[in-house]
A and B are shown apart, each in its own frame.
Chain A
Amino acid sequence: MTAAILWITEPIPLAATGLLIMILQPLLGIIPAEEIYSTFGNQAVFFLIGAFIIAAAIETHGLHRRIALKFLKHFENTPRGFTFGIMLSSALLSFIMPEHGVAALFLPIITSILLAMKIIPKESNFGKVSILSIAYGCSIGSLGTLIGGARNPLTIGFLADAGITVTFLDWMIYAIPVVFICLPVVWLVLQFVFPIEVDQITQAKNEIEQQVSLQGKIKKKEIIVLSILIFTVFLWIFFSHYTYFGLAGIALLGSILLFISGSITWKDVEKKVPWGIIVLYGGAITLGLGMQQTGAGHWIAQNLFELMSGNFYLIVFSLILFTILLTNIMSNTGAVAVLLPIGFALATDIPGISPLFASMIIALSGGLAFVFIIATPGNAITYSSGYFSTKDLFKAGSIANLICIAIIFVISVVYWKGFLGL
């Protein structure tokens, strides 16, 4: 409860709350200190570190910018198509980089295009849709692979502790359908809520051309980083299930190859790897552990079970709804950390709900924070551009979230449960 309140109100930085959770639990006699700190030895932590180093190399050489502009060039024909291109591009980049980094990358590219088109902040629906497409594209895309958000490896770390293995490819099989259904639907919501008033985007084309020409030809280091990235993703997809290899091993291998090839230095790592997330992650995983071991998760699950009269569909729906509500008012990672033990506890009490099923519901719903600026850094970053107001975000985000609740419900019941047998 303390963690949830601190993560919602943020009187201290999120990472500091993570540290606080780690010391409070041993001090209060909940979990021994040794067990708390050993959670940092979790494979998922090192997977995160490796993934961040790879993302840092991508950023250092501007490869992310090149990829983003390349994607956008395919959507230069119509204003509506262009906004879809923004959303799709941000989502696809969030497959290989943390979502907040993608938001920070796309923002100056799109704002320079909007400025070239003389789009006035807050006055233009095209401006609102373009910038909101970044925020929502990043959030949705971050569900697709384990790299997009820290809550994803947190989930598989939790599952691994329970003896359930989810590989990189498994995650994609579960999550990609959610991404590719939510993307066009949320895009349509934006078109409906903010009908675009612009009818041509010639200046956008010119601006993209200009930015592409500024990038110049692809450089040797970019090719090396791209090759290492492709190699690493290949290994993740096809070899992460091997006991002596694993997600973390592959991530660290990719990082080491970057150092060996001279594509990254430790200075770059210091500049670009957000260590705060590692600490936040540590706090989140120990919180989950604490909730599980003390039975707090089980107690909440019992109450929910009784409230929903043990009905499978009602419980699934409530889990999705509650996760989305919580993730909109606090850190995604924190929300998922608080809810995973409840999901696990539900799985022991309700036939038809496995720990994996419950975890995927929570992990994916936990990434869909569309309503408030505080919900996710992507929302905060894009809001600061001034192209949309908090009311705009609330309006579009509420509708998008309601529809996504329905999408995840249908996918969980029909695809995960019905087809994959989770």
Chain B
Amino acid sequence: MFKRILVPISSEFHSKDVIKRSIYLAGLFSGTVHLLYIIEEKPLDELDRRTDTHLTHYNRTETHQDLLNQQRQTADDLIFDDAQHLLHKKNINMKTTIVQGEFSSVVIDELKKNQYDLVIIGYERGSMIDYRLINDIDIPVWIESGGKHQSILAVCSNLAPNKKVPEISIKLAEKLDWDLNMIYVTDIEDNVEVDEHGNRSSPKPLHELLFSRQEFIEHMQDKGIFVKTVEGSLQKESIKAAKQIKAGLVIIGREQKKRGKLGLPIKKVKQKIADRSKYSLLFIN
């Protein structure tokens, strides 16, 4: 399932838990890990802007170079070294690269050049890092929070195709030997249905959404999975449910939510979930 794992690490934020998780999953799926350390350009550009009056171009270039050297050394001597220690005695292939650029752009470029099955990242709220890759890439993104709980919450809803989430959550629960809990959120803020191709329907009345929900529940029951049903906002209900069951991992599908409170447009729902969630998340894109 997750054989080729990409682990982008931003110079702005690094979490040991991310590397631990990637090595664990690589071990589980006999996969490979590529640690991609990204020296963020934005803080360096911001520094240039803030000091352009007080430091000369020559001084700024020197400072810039000092910072780049420091970042490279941090990557080599601390992060990659640490990762090598974690790999000790494990038969896992690990590749390391240092790149300068913007976090999401670098990841998207890397995904165009090479094939991966999973991207694992850390997440720091309110940081300078642009996490748009969560919404913009087509492969699963795992956001590791370092939690200790061992249960999966699979979130299905009227706003997603609900094909990959059940499939992946069942496989992952078996492989990790974790409990599997599943909820179906009928999102009343955005009352459309999303088909298996990811296309949104026109707005539907509640009873139609509930009918589709019932079909899904019965389908899951045939596979021996009990699905809890909830009505509300996809983001809120997912986090609420994760809190209730103390989830170790929340799996969310290719949601296509476009409307929020009072029917107002909403963007970057996954990022909003990541901002508010203390749990590890797996977005099946």
Once A108-B66, A386-B71 are accepted as A-B contacts, the answer to whether A100 and B77 lie under 8 Å apart by CB is no
List the B residue with the shortest CB-CB distance to A380. Answer: B50
Q: Is the CB of A377 within 8 A of B50?
A: yes
CB-defined contacts of B54 to chain A, threshold 8 Å: 98, 100, 274, 276-277, 377
0/1 interface trace, chain A 372-383, chain B, CB 8 Å (1 if under)? 011001001101
Which of B52, B55, B77, B79 contacts A104 (CB under 8 A)?
Answer: B55
List the B residue with the shortest CB-CB distance to A390. Answer: B126
List the A residue with the shortest CB-CB distance to B63. Answer: A104
Among the 9-residue stretches B39-47, B142-150, B206-214, B216-224, the one with 4 or more Cβ atoms under 8 Å from chain A is B39-47
| B53 CB–A CB distance under 8 Å | yes
- Distance to closest chain B CB from A52 (angstroms): 10
Q: Is the CB of B50 within 8 A of A276?
A: no
- Interface of chain B: mostly helix, strand, loop or mixed: helix
CB-defined contacts of B78 to chain A, threshold 8 Å: 115, 118, 120
| A107 CB–B CB distance under 8 Å | yes
List the A residue with the shortest CB-CB distance to B51. Answer: A377
Among the 9-residue stretches A9-17, A152-160, A315-323, the one with 4 or more Cβ atoms under 8 Å from chain B is A9-17
| B70 CB–A CB distance under 8 Å | yes
CB-defined contacts of B58 to chain A, threshold 8 Å: 271-272
| A78 CB–B CB distance under 8 Å | no
Bound complex: CA of A120 vs CA of B77, how far in Å? 10
0/1 interface trace, chain B 62-78, chain A, CB 8 Å (1 if under)? 11001101110110011
Interface residues in B, total, Cβ within 8 A: 32
| A354 CB–B CB distance under 8 Å | no
0/1 interface trace, chain A 1-40, chain B, CB 8 Å (1 if under)? 0000000001001110000000000000000000000000
* CB neighbors of B among A367-422 (8 A): 373-374, 377, 380-381, 383-386, 389-391
| A219 CB–B CB distance under 8 Å | no
| B13 CB–A CB distance under 8 Å | yes
List the B residue with the shortest CB-CB distance to A379. Answer: B50
* CB neighbors of A among B1-48 (8 A): 11-14, 43-44, 46-47
Q: Is the CB of B67 within 8 A of A100?
A: no
- Distance to closest chain A CB from B98 (angstroms): 14
Q: Is the CB of A104 within 8 A of B73?
A: no
Which of A272, A373, A390 contacts B59 (CB under 8 A)?
Answer: A272
- Distance to closest chain B CB from A315 (angstroms): 32
CB-defined contacts of B51 to chain A, threshold 8 Å: 100, 377, 380-381
Instruction: Beyond A275-B56, A280-B53, A390-B126, list 10 extra A-B contacts (CB 8 Å).
Output: A13-B53, A104-B59, A107-B63, A108-B66, A112-B73, A115-B73, A274-B56, A274-B59, A389-B127, A391-B126
* Interface CB pairs A-B, < 8 A, 24: A10-B50, A13-B53, A15-B53, A98-B54, A107-B63, A115-B74, A118-B78, A121-B74, A122-B13, A272-B56, A273-B56, A274-B53, A274-B55, A274-B59, A276-B52, A276-B54, A277-B53, A380-B51, A381-B47, A381-B51, A384-B46, A384-B63, A384-B67, A386-B12
Q: Using CB atoms and an 8 Å cutoff, list the residues of chain A in contact with chain B.
A: 10, 13-15, 98, 100-101, 104, 107-108, 111-112, 115, 118, 120-122, 271-277, 279-280, 331, 373-374, 377, 380-381, 383-386, 389-391
